[in-house]
Amino acid sequence: MKKIQVWLAAVVMGLGLGLLAPGAAAADSYCGLVWGSLVKTDPAISQAKVVNVRTGQHYCFDRLVIELNGPVAGYTARYVPQVVQDGSGLPVPLRGQAFIQFTVNAPAYDDNGNSTYNPADKNELTNVTGYQTFRQVAWAGSFEGYTSLGLGVRARLPFRVFTLPGPDAGSRLVIDVAHFW
């Protein structure tokens, strides 16, 4: 009986000191994402042309993909108070509580001035109805070798930008915007 009391006292004392209790859980970022919301940029200039824009949904983020007909070389993505059109500087109206201006250092026209990407609806490049983060993707123009899009999102959330090779000799410029912090 004395052994049980000594053992029980040791267990209670160990719990009181935190030796036997589980440690505090580490605060993991959402889905393991460690992105931020500051500007992302690559100053290189691409010889490729913009040929398509599409979007997709993932468990942890919404994705915008800009397809080029060659290797992608440069971009700028940043939160702005208002997205503006290339050349004119006129505002691009967007739904959402925060706005990302995404500029690809590549035109959406060929060397003869012919369009390589001409959206059917410049205010709705893709249908993002039902997306968790995206509210609207709009055309902001292609001027002097740069092409810009406006991305309306539900809040200022972390994002990342990266490139992928293909399809074929083309490439893709990708922006993922997280659903949560």
Residue 75: band (very low, low, confident or very high) from pLDDT cuts 50, 70, 90: very high
Judge contact between 69 and 165, C-beta under 8 A: no
pTM for the whole structure: 0.81
Token pair belonging to 136: 């609207």
pLDDT, tens digit, 9 for 90 and up, residues 126-177: 999 999 999 999 999 999 999 999 999 999 999 999 999 998 999 999 999 9
Does some domain include residue 38?
yes
pLDDT, tens digit, 9 for 90 and up, residues 94-133: 999 999 999 999 999 999 999 999 999 999 999 999 999 9
d(Cα 162, Cα 176) in Å, to the nearest integer?
9
Q: Which domain holds residue 101?
A: 31-178
Does some domain include residue 12?
no
What CATH number did the domain enclosing 76 receive? 2.60.40.3500
Amino acid at 2: K
The number of folded domains in the chain is 1
Does some domain include residue 14?
no
d(Cα 100, Cα 55) in Å, to the nearest integer?
15
Does some domain include residue 16?
no
Does some domain include residue 137?
yes
Q: What is the DSSP string of 46-109?
A: -SS-EEEEEEEE-SSEEEEEEEESS----EEEEEESS-B-TTT--B----SSEEEEEEESS-SB
CA dihedral 53, 59, 41, 164 (to 10 degrees): -60
